[in-house]
A = this chain, B = another copy of it.
Amino acid sequence: MTDHHRIKGVLSPVVTPFAADLATDPERFVRQCRWLLSQNVGLAVFGTNSEANSLSVEEKIELLDRLVAAGLDPARMMPGTGCCALPDSVRLTAHAMKVGCGGVLMLPPFYYKGLSDDGLFRSFAEVIERVGESRLRVYVYHIPPVAQVPITLGVVERLLAKYPAQIAGMKDSGGDWNNTKAFIDAFGTSGFDVFAGSETFLLQNMRNGGAGCISATANVNPGPIAHLFDTWKHADADAQQARLDVIRGIFQKFPMIPALKAAIAHHGRDVSWATVRPPLVALTSAQSSALVGELDRQKFTMPGLAAR
Q: Which residues from chain B contact A65 at a C-beta distance below 8 Å?
A: none
Q: Which residues from chain B contact A115 at a C-beta distance below 8 Å?
A: 279
Chain B CB within 8 A of A277 CB? yes
Minimum CB–CB distance from A77 to chain B (whole Å) comes to: 21
Q: Which residues from chain B contact A123 at a C-beta distance below 8 Å?
A: 278-279
With A146-B112, A278-B109 as known contacts, state yes or no: A86 contacts B22, CB within 8 Å. yes
Segment at the interface with B among A54-62, A218-226, A299-307: A54-62
CA distance A22 to B112 in the complex (A): 18
Scan A1-31; emit 1 where CB is below 8 A from any B CB, else 0: 0000000000000000000001000000000
With A59-B87, A86-B277, A281-B118 as known contacts, state yes or no: A111 contacts B22, CB within 8 Å. no
Chain B CB within 8 A of A145 CB? yes
How many identical subunits does the complex contain? 2
Q: Which residues from chain B contact A113 at a C-beta distance below 8 Å?
A: 145-146, 148
Partner of A84, one of B54, B112, B126, B149: B54
Contact A86 B278 (CB under 8 A): yes
Partner of A55, one of B85, B110, B147: B85
CA distance A22 to B90 in the complex (A): 13
With A113-B148, A146-B111, A148-B148 as known contacts, state yes or no: A122 contacts B281, CB within 8 Å. yes
CA distance A147 to B148 in the complex (A): 10
CA distance A85 to B55 in the complex (A): 5
Scan A76-117; emit 1 where CB is below 8 A from any B CB, else 0: 000000001111100100000000000000001111110110
Chain B CB within 8 A of A53 CB? yes
Minimum CB–CB distance from A123 to chain B (whole Å) comes to: 4
Q: Which residues from chain B contact A149 at a C-beta distance below 8 Å?
A: 279
Q: Which residues from chain B contact A91 at a C-beta distance below 8 Å?
A: 56
| 3 closest A-B pairs by CB | A53-B111, A119-B279, A122-B278
Instruction: A109-B278, A111-B146 are known; give 12 further A-B pairs, CB within 8 A.
Output: A22-B86, A22-B126, A53-B84, A54-B84, A54-B109, A55-B85, A56-B57, A56-B87, A56-B88, A84-B84, A86-B278, A111-B147
